[in-house]
Each structure stands twice: as structure tokens, then as C-alpha cells.
Amino acid sequence: LRIWQQNLNGSLIAQLSLLNNPAVADWDILLLQEPHINFLRNTSANHHWHVLYP
């Protein structure tokens, strides 16, 4: 089991760069702290990701 934990400090550029990086396919779980939150109070993801909110 491979887990990657990353603090994004609310940066949209950092989040998009990480989620679209092909190297993340080698990891089983990605834990993103302080993701970018848009004006609807949601974060962004693509169809390959499952977003879980606390």
C-alpha cells in the first residue's frame, strides 16, 4: 500500500499539477491537505478521483 500526503496550501496550480501528473498512478491513496476551494466551496477533481469531504 503506497500513500502520498501533500499539503497544497490552497493553491489551484499545485492541485491541478499534482492531479494531472501521470506519476500519481503509482500511488494507491493520495491525501490532499488544504486543497483549493472554489467559490461554491468545492474542490476540483477529474473522473479518475473520488473526493471525500470531512
Output the CA–CA distances (angstroms, integers) from residue 36 to 6, 15, 24, 40, in the order listed.
Answer: 12, 7, 18, 11
Q: Are 43 and 33 in contact (CB under 8 A)?
A: no
CA 7 to chain centroid, in Å, comes to 9
| Domain assignment present for 11 | yes
Res. 53: pLDDT tops 90: no
Confidence of residue 51 (pLDDT cuts 50, 70, 90): confident
Locate all alpha helices (DSSP H) within the chain, ordered by sequence.
12-19
Q: What range does the domain containing 19 cover? A: 1-45
Q: In the chain, what percentage of residues exceed pLDDT 70?
A: 100
- How many domains is the chain built from? 1
Question: Is 39 part of a structural domain of the chain?
Answer: yes
Structural domain includes residue 52 = no
**Would residue 23 count as lying in a domain?**
yes
**Within-domain flag for 54:** no
- The pLDDT tens digits of the residues spanning 1-40 come to 999 999 999 999 999 999 889 998 899 999 999 999 999 9
